[in-house]
Amino acid sequence: KLFHIAQELASSEQVFVDALHLLNQDFREAVQTASEDKGAPVVPDEILEQVLKHLPQLQDLNERLLGQLRERIDNWHGNERVADVLVKMGPFLKLYSSYIKDFEAATAALDEAKRKYPDFNRVVRNFEQSPRCRQLTLPQYMLKPIQRIPQYRLLLRDYVDHLDTDSPEYRDACAALDIVAQVAHHANESMKLGDNFSKLMSIQNSLVNRYEVIKPGRNFLKEGELMKVSRKEMQPRWFILLSDSLLYLTPAPQGGLRWNLELPLSGMKVTLPPQQDYQNEFSVITSKRSFILCASSPKEREEWITALNEAIEDNIHRKSSFHVLRKEGSQSSSSSELGQVAPLWIPDQRVTMCQLCTSGFSFTHRRHHCRACGKVVCAACSANKMPLQFKGPEPVRVCDDCFISLRSGEAKERSDPDQEGGQGLIKKKKTVRGILQEVPANDLGSSMSGYLHQYGKRGWKRQWFVVKDHVLYMYRASEDVAALRTTPTPWIPSLLSRQELRGSSAGAAV
């Protein structure tokens, strides 16, 4: 394992040195060639030097570092050490602080030069479109030195974790890790950058795994802890909203944050739950991943929803594309997006019966989630598998309703499965009186809904109630599709507010 980490340190150093060579030599040569062809400089030398400031020294430093790392790798079995190389080079690593401090001035000089000198702008554009750049822009390559220090820290931390504490290499590795940490801290303290760049740098340095937070044009907008509603329980997660994406992270046991997922804002939708009982919750829906989040208060939820929607709108305007943003009225994906967008999984505790056949769940009759719509169904109603666009080519479990829609090639509004046929693929629904299935627990047209405590033979029991058209429907859970019983309620005062019923979840009774 130590050898593999040392190899990764050397191989990533080779990639980094190549990026420095591209900036400091290849790009310089492209500018020089264009100037010679024109017979005059396409950009003044002093401006070019400002753009490429510190890069010659960085290239020289890292080429020497790469040479020593390669030598250690080639002779590894005779001398299993690599940390002392970084310790010896440590004092020179402070050159990164100078580069980071002047980074914004360098990128601003590049942008100004491109606007002021059309020939130089043409050189930059042609260079970025060349195979040498591998579809990356010049500012993206200029970010590489800033991203390298956190990479050193992550690799060294992994290296230290796999060393014996009593070995000489352990002491050198800890010293090297301390040097890199000091360089990162010195860079943060010394750079006179805008608040946005400083914040992105701070986030980058807090990560315990690899992810490039700093990208050209990216801005920090908001961060905070939200509870993720999973199948079984609520889980604390850290979210960072940026101008182009939402980052999903988890606290690391050793401190800091572990990056899990980047959700692009393009195509993202933010929705509210249909039931007012979940007043702290909201949903984030994307083609990559969708989930239900819970804030600490309605106010915090509103702040997140506002920030997310504004970021989504701004992202649309920047990309000059047209999207129709609309609020969804249910927890499952709309029929037109079936298989294309990751659905919201309904939490297990909010469903006590199969949402297709209404058979009750038990220890032996287990819950399963449809990967296409997110409903909770039984094994008999989800025996089929289909590949979904957002999941890739591998077939995954889908419910019978989704199987029919996906198999037909049309994600259309689905009718009663009993009327679809389906060549015996769909199980007959459990015999339930029709009136009990007229109104689902999450019905949007109800007068009011929420949890109440009902007193029965076995004492108090928490149930979900819905009032619609002067009928009181009782359910075991808030996402059940069939009621336990119904009671006509013409006597319920019309002035009874929805808030009074919702408040009963704190201990009201019927």
pLDDT tens, residue by residue, 308-333: 999 998 888 876 543 444 343 334 44
Please give the full DSSP string across 465-510, using - where no structure is assigned: EEEETTEEEEESSTT-SS-SEEEE-TTS-TT--HHHHHGGGGT-B-
Mean pLDDT of 380-392: 89
Do 93 and 27 lie in a common domain? yes
Q: Is the pLDDT of residue 417 over 50?
A: no
Mean pLDDT of 10-29: 96
Among 319, 346, 372, where does a domain finish?
319
Residue 326 lies in a domain: no
Residue 466 bridge partners (DSSP): 449, 473
pLDDT digits (tens, 9 = 90+) for 352-369: 999 998 888 988 888 999
Q: Is the pLDDT of residue 24 over 90?
A: yes
Among 251, 284, 319, where does a domain finish?
319
- Mean pLDDT, the chain, whole residue set: 83
And the tokens for 4?
């593999």
pLDDT given for residue 18 in this prediction: 97
Residue 299 lies in a domain: yes
Do 94 and 193 lie in a common domain? yes
Question: How many whole angstroms separate alpha carbon 172 and alpha carbon 409?
Answer: 61
- Confidence at 411, pLDDT banded by 50, 70, 90: very low
Q: Is the pLDDT of residue 426 over 50?
A: no
Do 275 and 375 lie in a common domain? no
Q: Is the pLDDT of residue 503 over 60?
A: no
Do 18 and 123 lie in a common domain? yes
Domain that holds residue 227: 220-319
Query: What percent of the chain shows pLDDT beyond 70?
Result: 85
- Residue 123 or residue 218, greater confidence: 123
CATH at residue 99:
1.20.900.10
Residue 312 lies in a domain: yes
Query: What percent of the chain shows pLDDT beyond 90?
Result: 42
- Confidence at 236, pLDDT banded by 50, 70, 90: very high
Do 35 and 181 lie in a common domain? yes
Residue 327 lies in a domain: no
Do 466 and 401 lie in a common domain? no
How many domains, in total, are found in the chain?
A: 4
CATH at residue 297:
2.30.29.30
pLDDT digits (tens, 9 = 90+) for 128-170: 999 999 988 999 999 999 889 888 988 999 999 989 888 888 9
Long-range Cβ pairs for the range 239-242 (8 Å, 24+): 239/293, 240/203, 241/307, 241/308, 241/311, 242/218, 242/311
Mean pLDDT of 297-315: 93
In this structure, are residues 252 and 230 in contact, taking their beta carbons and an 8 Å threshold?
no
DSSP state of 22: I
CATH at residue 402:
3.30.40.10
Do 308 and 356 lie in a common domain? no
Mean pLDDT of 397-412: 80
- Residue 413 or residue 408, greater confidence: 408
**Scanning the structure block, which residue is given the tokens 């860079």?**
187
Min mean pLDDT across 188-202, 288-302, 380-394 is at: 188-202
Residue 429 lies in a domain: no
Q: Where are the alpha helices (DSSP H) in 266-424?
A: 298-319, 400-408, 417-420
Which amino acid, one-letter code, is at 259? W
Question: How many whole angstroms separate alpha carbon 103 and alpha carbon 23?
Answer: 14
Do 30 and 177 lie in a common domain? yes
- Confidence at 190, pLDDT banded by 50, 70, 90: low
Do 122 and 191 lie in a common domain? yes
Question: How many whole angstroms separate alpha carbon 354 and alpha carbon 375?
Answer: 9
Residue 478 lies in a domain: yes
Mean pLDDT of 205-212: 86
Whole-model pTM: value is 0.62
CATH at residue 497:
2.30.29
Do 84 and 156 lie in a common domain? yes
- Confidence at 278, pLDDT banded by 50, 70, 90: confident
- Please report, in angstroms and rounded to a whole number, the separation of the first and last CA atoms in the chain: 63
Among 367, 396, 424, where does a domain finish?
424
Do 240 and 154 lie in a common domain? no
pLDDT given for residue 124 in this prediction: 96
Highest mean pLDDT out of 50-64, 75-89, 320-334: 50-64
In this structure, are residues 95 and 61 in contact, taking their beta carbons and an 8 Å threshold?
yes
Q: Is the pLDDT of residue 22 over 50?
A: yes
> 291 — alpha (psi -120 to 50), left (phi > 0) or beta?
beta
DSSP state of 424: G
Do 313 and 169 lie in a common domain? no
Q: What share of the chain is helix, strand, coil (3-state, %, to 5)?
A: 45, 20, 35
Mean pLDDT of 471-483: 89
Mean pLDDT of 287-315: 92
Residue 272 lies in a domain: yes
Q: Is the pLDDT of residue 428 over 70?
A: no
DSSP state of 44: -
pLDDT given for residue 487 in this prediction: 86
Q: Give buried/exposed letters for 286-315 (b at 16+ CB in 10 A, else e).
A: bbebbbbbbbeeeeebeebbebbeebbeeb
pLDDT given for residue 221 in this prediction: 94
Which amino acid, one-letter code, is at 435? I
pLDDT given for residue 307 in this prediction: 95
And the tokens for 102?
């002047």
